[in-house]
A and B are shown apart, each in its own frame.
Chain A
Amino acid sequence: MDVEILSRIQFAFTVSFHYIYPPLSIGLGLLMVLMEGLYLRTGDKQYEQMARFWTKIFALTFGIGVATGIVMEFEFGTNWATYSRYVGDVFGSALAAEGIFAFALESGFLGILLFGWNKVSPRVHFISTLGVWFGSMFSAVWIVVANSWQQTPAGYHIVGEGLDARAEITDFWAMVFNPSSIDRLLHVWVGAFLAGAFLVLSVHAYYLLRGRYVELSQKAFRIALVVAAVFSLSQLFTGHHSADGVAKNQPAKLAALEGHFDSLAAADMYVFGWVNKEKQQTTGLKVPGGLSFLVHYDFEAPVPGLNAFPENERPTAVNAIFQFYHLMVAIGLFLIALTLYAVFQWWRGKLFRQRWLLWVFVFAVLLPNIANQLGWFAAEMGRQPWVVYGLLRTSDALSAAVTANQVVFSLILFALIYTLLFALFLYLLDKKIKAGPENKEFIQERQRQEGIAEALRSKPGL
């Protein structure tokens, strides 16, 4: 395999692994803010207890998120040197802003969030939790701005030619508010809220099924259900807006998302299907003219198909992009149905009596996380063969000084480390969930130490 495909695999692998954690942190951050806020408002100790419990899970996701996040920053330089030279001038200010406004804020206050429970007042602690959450939200802002600039470049001009060409910033705010950044940011944020909310739902549904911490879990479940229901619905709108933006700004990507080839025809919208790239055919269950309607509000209006673009400017993995996109949409719709049904049962006063529904929530935690990954796959693969849409090809963005063997080495290195990390993450998550909000670890540790002290007292000869 050559350096290009290896570097792409490595970046995709490291960024996908990383992206398990930040959405959970952003989403859990919101839930922790709500729990602590309710504690401050009501003085109900159970809210504090659940906030403390989720802080511990948050520490785990945040820790791995930070550790795996710096990898991509380095990879820009190590694997994508030409890309770094090309975009540094534009991309740089977003990255600098991310570091100084977002990362410093979240990791600064993280210390107080995790270790400050007994050191500062509940109010100051709440402010620290807010600080960490805002920090995580800001980091999403800047990284999505930077990525959106790669999708829909704006506020720049090109200096130099051929190998020396690079983008220089001309208008900071035009770069920040490039045509896709707001839509995509909202979509990413809401996806993250769902990831966090469904983790809370899953764990507390499990406690309820096991009859543990019942009162506390019912409270936590309700908070998370409100968040999940509100944002499942919102995701429909942010998703629609994003798709609208793709139609305007990245027509080749849109055509790939729906497997649409013929340029002169109206475009269909599929519920599910299969794309045969050789025959240029997509088969499946569809709404005829659906995509035309989505874009033009007219079922018969033509939409540019993949054939409208030169062969070397089309995404190649059309079927994969199609499947990822449709699976994401299907998950989104399922989450809406699930949360609305649960809200309905809540309104009927039967929410916690339906064991099967709780079981569905136990496993539903996987869905928003899978959808978040799939959405990024579709977005990034749909941008190919460009790394900066219309400006810089992925194949031109590599490091000249790096050989395939070196990338194989680092890829194996990351594969080993991340497999280990993921296994440990699941193991520790499971352990923390089993330990529950009662903080058994601490109680056991104290008992153990008291036991030792007792033993020492009773045997003065030792």
Chain B
Amino acid sequence: MSTLFGIDYPTLWFLVVGGLFSGYAILDGFDLGAGALHLFFRKEESRRIALNAIGPVWDGNEVWLVIGGGALFAGFPVVYASLFSGMYIPFMLFLAFLIFRAVSIEFRSKEPMRWWRQMWDVSYSISSATLALLLGVVLGNVLLGMKIGPSQEYEGNWLEFLNPYALVVGLTTLALFTTHGALYLLMKTEGRLYAKLTILARRALGFFLISFAAATVYALVFLPHLTDRFREIPWLFVVPLLGFLSIANIPRLVSRHKYRMAFLFSSFTMAFMLLTVAIELYPVIIISTMDEAYSITIYNAASSDKSLGIMLTIAAIGAPLVLAYTAFVFWTFRGKVKLDETSY
């Protein structure tokens, strides 16, 4: 088996996929969060400013999901096939809401009528919130494990997707994205909208802390398999610990109105939480609840070393480019939002 820095290729690609999904959560997370808050802004101008705060970047952010999905397909085709076909209906709904989120942003500003804008505002906000929820629900199911049979196919009923644990993780994700989105908007707004967001950010944060506590307690009590790894290798506990510290830091920074730093720490929170999930699961990606032997691991699901080697090369060439022009775009649109004739 080929290795790089002593790490085998499937593990490296597992880290790449994890990195891409973390990037997606951090970047599109604030878009979805801003969307979830959208209907709380009552005035037309506030809504326009909130929309234009994500306007130039949301599309690039969504691409992280496309790349992450592609990376999963390419590196672990079996996971991609079993997860997506097993969760057929939820993924189709996800697609529908993703389309509505995109076109609502695009269509809203094209007509001045009140009913038109109201309609797209509602569609945009509901889509954003549902997407955040669904992402969390998928994560919850991955943590919980699925009914994977001997041929690596899902053998359960799709309704099992909506179980209490997954829903709690879904709500936690929604709350975290909403907090993250509020913090992002605080960096981009001023005046009364800014004042309103200071309140919304606090409420979202409270919602997150409660749901996060619920999800954690639930996992500790009912899902002991998730903590095995940390009992085996105690020093790895540093990762969730850093996650907890990041979370604890957010209320402190919010109460001091240091929103830029708070946004940084909500980003860290996502990264550390997903890294914790990765550590808990590794080397399994989808736990089979039928028989441990049926579980889909990074080794029985991975593409060949040859293929992974090519993709690692592509990623090594592409990643600096992507980061460079992403940084350039964010830098171009830095500072508070000012509406002009090109705005949404």
Contact = CB atoms under 8 A, between A and B. Distances in A.
A401 B333 CA distance: 45
A410 B158 CA distance: 14
B268 to A, nearest CB: 23
Interface in A88-128: 88-93, 95-101, 103-105, 107-112, 114-120
Nearest to B102: A67
B70 A95 contact: yes
A110 to B, nearest CB: 6
Interface centre among A64, A84, A159, A448, by most chain B C-beta atoms within 10 angstroms, is A84
Describe A's contact surface by its main secondary structure: helix
Contacts of A172: 310
Interface in B46-66: 52, 55-57, 59-60, 62-63, 65-66
B293 interface: no
A98 B59 contact: no
Classify chain B's interface size: 35 or more
Contacts of B74: 88, 91-93, 95-96
A110 B59 contact: yes
Given A74-B69, A96-B315, A63 B103 contact: yes
A330 interface: no
B325 A109 contact: yes
A120 B303 contact: no
Interface stretch (A162-170, A180-188, A347-355): A162-170
Contact of A92 (B55, B95, B110, B303): B303
A399 B60 contact: no
B326 to A, nearest CB: 6
A63 B332 CA distance: 21
Given A108-B329, A109-B329, A119-B332, A96 B70 contact: yes
Interface stretch (A75-83, A235-243, A252-260, A382-390): A75-83
A72 to B, nearest CB: 10
Contacts of B310: 93, 169, 172
B83 interface: yes
Contact of B98 (A63, A67, A104, A117): A67
B325 to A, nearest CB: 5
B160 interface: no
B40 interface: no
B314 A103 contact: no
Interface string B58-84: 011011011101110111111011111
Contacts of A109: 325, 329
B80 A67 contact: no
Contacts of A105: 321, 325
Interface centre among A98, A108, A166, by most chain B C-beta atoms within 10 angstroms, is A108
A58 B310 CA distance: 34
B85 A107 contact: no
Interface in A179-238: none
B311 A93 contact: yes
B220 interface: no
Given A76-B80, A115-B52, A409-B89, 19 more contacts: A64-B106, A66-B102, A67-B98, A67-B102, A73-B66, A74-B69, A77-B91, A92-B74, A96-B315, A97-B318, A100-B314, A111-B60, A115-B56, A118-B342, A401-B85, A402-B85, A409-B92, A410-B88, A442-B341
30 contacts: A59-B106, A63-B106, A67-B98, A68-B99, A74-B69, A74-B91, A74-B95, A76-B73, A81-B81, A81-B85, A84-B77, A88-B74, A88-B80, A93-B74, A95-B73, A95-B74, A96-B70, A103-B67, A105-B321, A107-B59, A111-B60, A114-B56, A119-B333, A120-B332, A168-B306, A172-B310, A409-B89, A413-B96, A421-B99, A446-B341
Interface of A: 59-60, 63-64, 66-71, 73-74, 76-79, 81-82, 84-85, 87-93, 95-101, 103-105, 107-112, 114-120, 131, 159, 163, 166, 168-170, 172, 399-402, 406, 409-410, 413, 417, 421, 424, 428, 431, 439, 441-442, 445-446, 448
